[in-house]
Structure 1
Amino acid sequence: MLTSSSPEGSVDPRQMLDADPSSASTEPSGGNRYMLMVVSGLLALGLGGAAVALPVPYVVESAGPTFNTLGQDGDKPVISITGRESFPAKGNLDLTTVVMTGGPKTPATIVDVFRAWLDSSKAIYPEEMIYPKGTTAEQTVQQGEIAMETSQENAVAAALRELDIPFEQRLTVAGLSDPSPSAGKIQEGDLLVSINGKPVTSMGVIQAELAAGAGAPAVVVVDRDGTAVTETVTPTKNPAGRYVLGVLLASDFTFPFEVKISLENVGGPSAGMMFALGILDNLSPGDLTGGKHVAGTGTITADGAVGGIGGIAQKMIGARQHGATMFLAPAANCADVVGHVPEGLQVVKVETLADAAAAVERLGSGQSTEGLPTCTNN
């Protein structure tokens, strides 16, 4: 028999190999049981920690920071205007954000989802509802940056249009829907010149002409590589009930002066309306807000139409937490607004930049804001 130099209470594996099986005990000693318990516990903790750290296919939305479009982002003004007289404004026109935990950029864990489940101020969604399958972190960042850049250009156009300041807008065909009534007639890269004899100076011209025709064929003239091409297209109705040509359009603007928007680490299109309000206020004498604290959200088109966004419940919470007393919400988001308005926050329903400006001006001038449109009235 081999001898052991192991500490008392432990068993040398060589003794177990050389021992007489008939005399060996199958019960571990007290010290051995303790060691087994410690090792098992550590192993369980390790496995549990690993499981908690594993990503899960959910996205958590929570209230993010707000940014005053009339103020500074670090040492730079959020909005600066060069080449035209401007009027630095007081008060707050806050754009609101949400923090997204989950998806390809910042995967969510079980702990993130469990904490959100216990917190009524947060929302949980299946990942595929927010990010299409296969979306990479790089694509997410790129898409957010493109959407932000487009919203800023549209915001400048909408503000200038509201102030009757002329600018040039060229609409180029970026693609066709599938199916499209323009297939075989209008091509990607075509520049829209006129519709039914009216110059195409904005998206609104096209929409108005198609609506007036109520489905009648429209005569469309495009510039194709320097050659005028005339086609007759019979529009179809989209799911929203509007007559469309079935073309995807990209805008190219030429503005009479420079408007620069400086805001880091924020992406997406939902700040468009608040950018437009900030630009409008900076180009107008006096203070639109009257020094009051207003926040809001919504996409914007070059024609000043306000569109719906995501995460509005969390954005209202963030707005109130940062001191806003009035919140401008897209009419398209009313179903998500009702039942989620924080105490002390008046939510005004808006469909256009003009609606938003009128509501802020009414608050800023000291008039009663009762009777402004909400998501529970007209």
Structure 2
Amino acid sequence: MHEREAQDAMVERDDNSHEPRGPKPLKRSSAGVIALLLVGVMMFLPTNFMIRSPGPVFNTLGKDEGKDVVSIEGAKTYASDSELDLLTVYVQGGGQNRVTIPVVLEAMLNPTKDVVPEETIMAHNTSSQQQNEQNDRMMTSSQDLAIAAAMTELGYDYKTWLSVADFSNELNSKLLKKGDRLLKYNGKDISSLEELKKQLNANGEKPATLTVGRADKQGDYKNVDVTVKTEAADNGERQLGIFLGTEHKFPIGVKFGLSNVGGPSAGMMFALSIIDRLTEGSLAGEHHVAGTGEIAADGTVGPIGGIAQKMVAAKKSGATIFLAPADNCNEVVGRVPDGLNVLKISTLSEAHTALEKIADGQDPSTFATCE
């Protein structure tokens, strides 16, 4: 009996102890629910990834929403039996439209899609609207350069000016206007960007007379002399504090009827369609050709993004020949769909010649490829 009382007293003392007590441990079932909730919340947090997937395909010799994708005025044009497709890529994520982890995981398991870090497509702190506006500007520029490249390839003469696109600071912002054509620097013709750089560096920090062509309200250009200053960039080269653009005056009029497509990658295919329209016959015969590549006025073909997705879109659209920029070859290898002949292209002239030879019966598989 005494032993029982002692045990009871010990229990009582333990219950009435004044030692601090921690929270009661969670039951395993409660901890599991919380863990699942946390995982669920994390799964739907926005990520810094963007997803590329195949987009729509447009025949540059055809129509989009009832409008000719490419139309020409001021020159005789010819019908064509060829198909020259430009290709697009859907891009998800970035800016204010970030994708969640489940969307990223689905894309990683889909062989037609690629998941890439946001900074590889969009500059830091760029909004979705700003990115769209930039893509629209690049599309407009690529169309202008496509005309220039086609004119160069066909031997047409045209005029080119460097122009004021915008200002990087206030150095000459009150003296120059957007759209001013840069004609002369201290009386010497400005024939190219390289020539302008040489003149700026040779003059140093001294003020100089810049002659510009400035449009009046009627759109007529008049020469205006402006005394401008320069400043040294980090690399020591002199600058005017402006962003330069390029303006052309062509002997023909070219209009583009494609809507809701941005970026520079359609340049080469636009140029080929202009060449096809301006020359008799069908550039690629009855072949279905697709391709991509940024274009320069001299015909140089530059690399683009999303080429793997564009090859998938080309194959689905029925193309059997794909024109790929040479600088994209490392992304082409191992991802070419069966039945698609990929030609490695460095210049518009190469593409032009290759399609003419294919139209004459040469086997597409005999041309240089990325593999």
Normalising by structure 2, report the TM-score.
Answer: 0.72
CA distance in 2, matches of 1:47, 1:163: 64
Distance 2:322 2:227 in 1: 47
Within a 5 Å distance, the mapping from 1:161-172 to structure 2 comes to 161-172=152-163
Q: CA deviation at 1:157?
A: 1.4
CA distance in 2, matches of 1:325, 1:87: 24
* 2:364 match: secondary structure: coil
SS for the counterpart of 1:108 is coil
Give the total of aligned pairs.
321
Note closer, same or farther for the CA distance 1:176–1:348 as it changes in structure 2 (3 Å cut). farther
Pairing 1:116–2:110 present: no
Q: Distance in 2 between matches of 1:356 and 1:165?
A: 18
Indicate the residue corresponding to 1:368 in structure 2. 363
SS in 2 for 1:260: strand
RMSD: 4.1
Residues 261 and 337 of structure 1: is their aligned pair in 2 closer, same or farther, counting only changes over 3 Å? Answer: same
Q: Is the 8 A contact 2:321 2:364 kept in 1?
A: no
SS in 2 for 1:56: coil
Report the counterpart of residue 296 of structure 1 in structure 2.
Answer: 291
Report the AA paired with residue 82 of structure 1: E
Q: Is 2:270 the partner of 1:275?
A: yes
Which residue, 223, 233, 243 being the options, matches 2:211?
223
**Structure 1 position 166, deviation (Å):** 2.0
Instruction: Specify whether residues 228 and 90 from structure 1 end up closer, same or farther in structure 2 by C-alpha distance, changes over 3 A only.
Output: farther
Aligned residue identity for 1:67: F
Deviation, 1:148, is: 0.6
Q: Structure 2 CA distance, aligned partners of 1:68 and 1:169? A: 29
Identity of aligned residues (%): 43
Aligned partner of 1:137 among 124, 128, 134 = 128
Q: Which residue of 2 aligns with 1:336?
A: 331
Structure 2: which amino acid aligns with 1:91? S
Q: 1:334 to 1:365 in 2, by over 3 A?
A: same
Query: Contact conserved, 2:67 with 2:257, CA < 8 A, in 1?
Result: yes
Q: Give the secondary structure class of the aligned counterpart of 1:290.
A: coil
Q: 1:142 to 1:366 in 2, by over 3 A?
A: same
Contact 1:79 1:279 in 2 (8 A): yes
Letter of the 1:79 partner, please give it: V
Structure 1 residue 160 displacement after superposition:
1.6
Deviation at 1:222, TM superposition (A): 5.7
List aligned pairs for 1:61-100, cutoff 5 A.
61-100=52-91
CA distance in structure 1 between the partners assigned to 2:360 and 2:352 by the alignment: 12
Secondary structure, counterpart of 1:341 in structure 2: coil
The answer (yes or no) to whether the contact 2:184–2:211 under 8 Å persists in 1 is no
Question: Relative to structure 1, is the Cα distance of residues 132 and 230 closer, same or farther in structure 2, using a 3 angstrom cutoff?
Answer: closer
Aligned to 1:22: none
Aligned-partner residue type, residue 301 of structure 1:
A
CA distance in 2: counterparts of 1:341 and 1:133, whole angstroms: 32
Correspondence for 1:16: none
| Displacement after TM superposition at 1:88 (Å) | 2.5
CA shift for structure 1 position 372: 2.1
The letter of the residue matching 2:324 is A
Aligned equivalent of 1:318:
313
Task: Give the aligned residue type for 2:50.
Answer: V
Q: Are residues 105 and 146 of structure 1, via their aligned partners in 2, closer, same or farther at CA, if it must alter by over 3 Å?
A: farther
TM value normalised by structure 1: 0.71
Change (3 A) 1:105 1:68: farther
CA distance in 2 between counterparts of 1:198 and 1:305 reads 28
Query: Aligned partner of 2:159: which letter?
Result: E
For structure 1, the 5+ residue unaligned runs are 1-36, 178-186, 232-236, 238-243
Equivalent-residue separation in structure 1 for 2:359 and 2:189 (angstroms): 38
Q: Is the 8 A contact 1:191 1:222 kept in 2?
A: no
Give, in whole Å, the separation in 2 of the partners of 1:175 and 1:375: 39
CA 1:192–1:342 in structure 2 vs 1: closer, same or farther (change >3 Å)? same
Cα separation, partners in 2 of 1:229 and 1:345, compared to 1, 3 Å? farther
Write out aligned runs for 1:1-378 (5 A).
51-104=42-95, 106-172=97-163, 174=165, 191-193=181-183, 223-224=211-212, 226-227=224-225, 249-376=244-371
Question: Contact conserved, 1:64 with 1:99, CA < 8 A, in 2?
Answer: yes
CA-to-aligned-CA distance 1:50-78 (integer Å, 9 cap, x gap): 65443221111111121110111121111
Equivalent position amino acid for 2:255 in 1: K
Deviation at 1:338, TM superposition (A): 1.8
SS at match of 2:334: coil
| Cα offsets for 1:304-331 (capped at 9, x unmatched) | 1111111111111211121111111111
Give the Cα separation in 2 of the matches to 1:343 and 1:268: 28
The DSSP-based 3-state class of the residue aligned with 1:226 is: strand
Residues 132-174 of structure 1 deviation map (CA, whole Å, 9 limit, x = unaligned): 2211121011111111111111111111221122222112355
Deviation at 1:354, TM superposition (A): 0.8
The one-letter code matched in structure 1 to 2:346 is: E
> CA 1:194 to 1:271, structure 2 compared with 1: closer, same or farther past 3 Å?
same
Amino acid at match of 2:359: G
Distance 1:46 1:264 in 2: 44
